[in-house]
Amino acid sequence: MEEKLLATAERVIALGEEGEQIEVVAVHEQETEIRVYEGEIESFTASESQGVGIRVIQDGRQGMAYAGTLDEKILKETLIEARDNSTFGTYDEFVAIAEPDGVKPISLNLYHPMISQFPTEEKISLAKELEKYIRNSDERIVGVESTEYVDSISASAIVTSSGIRRSSYEGGCYVAASSLASDGKDMQTGFGYSIGRNPELLDIEKAGTQASDRATRMLGAKKAQSGRQTVILDPYVTAQFLGIIGSTFSGEALLKGRSLFAGREGEPIASSMVTLVDDPTDAEAFTATEVDGEGLASRRNILINSGTLQGFLHNSYTARALNTISTGSAVRSYNSSPGVGSLALSLVPGSKSQEKLIENIDDGILIQGVAGLHSGVNPISGDFSAGAEGIQIRNGKLAEPVREITIASTLQRMLLEVQDIGSDLERLPMRSSGVSLVVGDVTVSGV
């Protein structure tokens, strides 16, 4: 499939005219999504799609068009449309197709044949098995709201008139579930998940135990006392925060004057314990990739090193506009022009388990879930306020559960107040991995 996509893109490039730059992105995707409820299939979706996006740049003006087919006649029409659209584009001296930069992609082997060979019946069985495991895990589990199996396979190719010719073939899958627990007086929900490059790597026990424990340990939860406290962010919560923090390191945010850390390269912006990397070359990351959205080799970018800001993420456009080089951080779909952002963000883990981190805290809260985080964060000022739930920590041990609390601080202060980082790196079905994170001096609003 990769060669077919490359050949399709090359045929479009061959139709280019003098004085114009052309970029062609061709993709072929397959996805399965199965949802089970009470032992029966609630929904089943198996989809296959393909498409080609064409970007034409001439005289500093950009035009974009796309089609959901590889039909040669349609692609010729799409090229004409992109060419026509460029005549209406706004002039921008920095707009151009990416140029080869000499960095060779690292071979990551992100596709396992088992993901396409695994029978549908067994995919359904995995979802049913997870639901059954959760129901039998604890007598307080009274239901499973949803259980799902999801997989995807993506082949893509990028060819440009500037000499880029790259392709990739990637696959991944996961199971996830949401459970419901009750003690007769209170009812709580919990979730669990497991990811892998092929279905045989999915861990039903891990996902089921997570979903059960997260729900049952919150039974009887009450509001916490208000005040400033030390909190431990559960890996899933940390990953959500990293997704927001990562956006502040975007070259696009920097270019628009919306980055919290503009002009602070080489300065300490976080605790010395913090090393933040965007590493899509880490094959264990769910969103690992060999090339970025412009066909440049992906690479390990260190954003914060031992607390000191190292730099920002760039695609070719922001790099030209800010007189620097691309970090291989272009993000896009075939039907959009390239943006810029993190591809596989994570903190470098510490050496302690979450249990050890808890033992070192006299009074605090283990935050296991947040609500409204994205709407509660101001990415320009860094202020955030979000609903949360978790477990109170007293004298180094987990105590009573707490809910309907609000945690508030700023992203800048949170980075500076990191007191410890766990060793429990969690791979998640998102662009960020998680790890237990101890943060001091967080405002908790409860009773």
Residue 336's nearest CA partner among 294, 299, 297, 379 is 294
Do 434 and 314 sit in the same domain of this protein?
A: yes
- CB 176 within 8 Å of CB 42: no
Exposed (0-12), middle (13-18) or buried (19+): which is 47, by Cβ within 10 Å?
exposed
Residue 433's nearest CA partner among 291, 242, 234, 197 is 242
Number of domains in the chain: 2
Q: Which of 197, 215, 233 is the last residue of a domain?
A: 215
- CB 63 within 8 Å of CB 56: yes
Q: Which of 215, 235, 251 is the last residue of a domain?
A: 215
Helix (DSSP H) and strand (DSSP E) numbers for the chain? 10, 18
Do 120 and 249 sit in the same domain of this protein?
A: no
The reply to whether the predicted model has a pTM over 0.85 is: yes
- Going 292 to 300 to 200 to 422, the CA torsion angle's sign is negative
The parent domain of residue 424 ranges over: 221-447
Do 140 and 227 sit in the same domain of this protein?
A: no
Do 322 and 246 sit in the same domain of this protein?
A: yes
Residue pLDDT tens, the chain, 447 long: 889 999 999 999 999 999 999 999 999 999 999 999 999 999 999 999 999 999 999 999 999 999 999 999 999 999 999 999 999 999 999 999 999 999 999 999 999 999 999 999 999 999 999 999 999 999 999 999 999 999 999 999 999 999 999 999 999 999 999 999 999 899 999 999 999 999 999 999 999 999 999 999 999 999 888 999 999 999 999 999 999 999 999 999 999 988 999 999 999 999 999 999 999 999 999 999 999 999 999 999 999 999 999 999 999 999 999 999 999 999 999 999 999 999 999 999 999 999 999 999 999 999 999 988 777 788 788 899 999 999 999 999 999 999 999 999 999 999 999 999 999 999 999 999 999 999 999 999 975
Do 188 and 225 sit in the same domain of this protein?
A: no
Do 99 and 137 sit in the same domain of this protein?
A: yes
The pairing of strands 397-410 and 383-394 is antiparallel
Do 110 and 251 sit in the same domain of this protein?
A: no
